[in-house]
């Protein structure tokens, strides 16, 4: 089995970190009482060299009969809970204060050629290091390489082009060629359909870009989290109107990964709060569960990302 992600080296900081209070509330209302349910939750911020969780935690209603907090295979905080009493409603509130620092902007032209980097995957020092990186170059549950993805990626990956430059060009093209449409897809929409319609949301655009990168033999990770939003001038910030976000992390050689947001055509900075990383959405979905009964359910989600740094 491939090794989980190795520890990351600390990154130099260029300015004071941004500080946020993040509140994410998810509630299920069931058609009839549920006697037993199990849930796996990815809603705690992932520590990394540019991000630190100052405080916070999860509030669960009804209280969990069993709760286990651990670090999953990919290095993400994850919580398992079991509710062992009849309930018509299940709600979880994740509230954290997080600080996020900027990283120096990369010199995209100074990164290794993408085709040379691809060839080096088989020669990385140490089986654990090689496995931990190479696992992100293969197909995963929701992202499978295809001729369509390879053809879309090809114009960005000309021979000898620096990998970060090629990835940024691919990011720009996904942003330009695909239309953000929250009505066009669901979490179950196949990637082939997104490629055909050129419509979707941040999860879809991240999957498209990851598939394109993997079609060129490059490791790429799916990242879930939140994005700081700024209201229009003169307008108040809407509480609870934010949403989960997703972006891409591409390997640039050694221990270097570059996070890119195709939805907004941006290199990830301190406006982005990381929750989890994996091969695709299936590895890091905020909540998944198994329950007995219920007769259908209604779902409400509210997300609020409040800047505390002025």
What DSSP string describes 73-91?
A: TTS-EEEEEEE-S-EEEEE
Q: Is residue 4 part of a domain?
A: no
Q: Which residues pair with 69 in a beta bridge?
A: 79
Q: Are 268 and 120 part of one and the same domain?
A: yes
Distance, in Å, from the CA atom of 290 to the CA atom of 301, rounded to the nearest integer, reads 19
Who wins on pLDDT, 155 or 10? 155
Q: Are 135 and 270 part of one and the same domain?
A: yes
Q: Which residues pair with 99 in a beta bridge?
A: 19, 52
Distance, in Å, from the CA atom of 194 to the CA atom of 190, rounded to the nearest integer, reads 7
Q: Are 230 and 261 part of one and the same domain?
A: yes
Residue 69, domain CATH: 2.60.40.2250
Q: Are 267 and 139 part of one and the same domain?
A: yes
Domain hosting residue 274, numbered range: 108-283
Banded model confidence at residue 122, pLDDT cuts 50, 70, 90: confident
Residues in the chain, overall count: 310
H or E stretch at 213:
helix 202-215
DSSP 124: -
H or E stretch at 51:
strand 51-61
Residue 226, domain CATH: 3.10.620.30
Split into its structural domains, the chain has a count of 2
* Among the listed residues 65, 58, 121, the one whose alpha carbon sits nearest the alpha carbon of residue 91: 58
Q: Are 207 and 290 part of one and the same domain?
A: no
| Residue 34: φ, ψ to 5° | -105, 115
Question: In this predicted model, what pLDDT tens digit does every residue of 165-197 receive, in sequence order?
Answer: 999 999 999 999 999 999 999 989 999 999 999
| Residue 37: φ, ψ to 5° | -145, 150
Question: In this predicted model, what pLDDT tens digit does every residue of 29-56 receive, in sequence order?
Answer: 998 999 999 999 999 999 999 999 999 9
Q: Are 115 and 35 part of one and the same domain?
A: no
Q: Are 260 and 115 part of one and the same domain?
A: yes
Work out whether strand 179-180 and strand 199-200 pair parallel, antiparallel, or are unpaired.
parallel
Q: Are 113 and 177 part of one and the same domain?
A: yes
Per-residue pLDDT for 240 more than 70?
no
* Among the listed residues 207, 203, 296, 274, the one whose alpha carbon sits nearest the alpha carbon of residue 8: 274
Distance, in Å, from the CA atom of 174 to the CA atom of 152, rounded to the nearest integer, reads 9
Q: Are 202 and 83 part of one and the same domain?
A: no
Tell me, what's the pLDDT at 211? 98
Per-residue pLDDT for 232 more than 50?
yes
Q: Are 208 and 75 part of one and the same domain?
A: no
* Among the listed residues 210, 224, 296, 219, the one whose alpha carbon sits nearest the alpha carbon of residue 252: 219
Cβ density class 60-69: b for 16+ within 10 Å, e for less: beeebeeeee
Cα dihedral sign, 61-67-71-72: negative
**pLDDT (mean) for 242-270:** 94
The model carries a pTM of: 0.92
Q: Are 277 and 147 part of one and the same domain?
A: yes
Distance, in Å, from the CA atom of 190 to the CA atom of 187, rounded to the nearest integer, reads 9
Helix (H, G, I), strand (E, B) or coil at 170: helix
Q: Are 95 and 123 part of one and the same domain?
A: no
Tell me, what's the pLDDT at 106? 87
**pLDDT (mean) for 230-240:** 69
């Amino acid at each position: 089995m491939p090794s989980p992600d190795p520890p990351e080296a600390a990154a130099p900081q260029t300015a004071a970190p941004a500080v946020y209070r993040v509140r994410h509330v998810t509630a299920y209302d069931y058609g009839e009482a549920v006697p037993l349910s199990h849930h796996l939750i990815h809603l705690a911020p992932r520590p990394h060299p540019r991000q630190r969780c100052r405080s916070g935690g999860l509030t669960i209603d009804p209280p969990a009969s069993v709760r286990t907090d651990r670090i999953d295979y990919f290095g993400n905080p994850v919580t398992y809970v079991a509710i062992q009493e009849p309930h018509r409603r299940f709600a979880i509130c994740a509230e954290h204060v997080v600080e996020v620092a900027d990283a120096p902007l990369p010199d995209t032209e100074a990164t290794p050629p993408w085709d040379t980097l691809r060839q080096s995957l088989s020669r990385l020092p140490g089986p654990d290091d090689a496995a931990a990186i190479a696992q992100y170059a293969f197909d995963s549950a929701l992202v499978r390489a295809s001729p369509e993805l390879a053809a879309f990626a090809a114009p960005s990956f000309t021979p000898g082009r620096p990998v970060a430059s090629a990835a940024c060009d691919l990011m720009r093209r996904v942003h330009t060629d695909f239309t953000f449409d929250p009505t066009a897809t669901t979490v179950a929409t196949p990637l082939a359909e997104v490629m055909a319609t050129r419509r979707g949301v941040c999860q879809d655009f991240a999957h498209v870009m990851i598939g394109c990168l993997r079609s060129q033999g490059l490791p790429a990770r799916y990242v879930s989290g939140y994005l700081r939003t700024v209201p229009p001038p003169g307008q108040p910030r809407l509480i609870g109107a934010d949403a989960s976000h997703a972006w891409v992390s591409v390997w640039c050689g050694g221990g270097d990964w570059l996070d890119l947001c195709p939805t907004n055509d941006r290199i990830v900075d301190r406006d982005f709060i990381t929750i989890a990383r994996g091969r695709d959405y299936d590895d890091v979905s905020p909540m998944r569960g198994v329950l007995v009964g219920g007769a259908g359910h209604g779902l409400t989600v509210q997300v609020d990302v409040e800047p505390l740094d002025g």
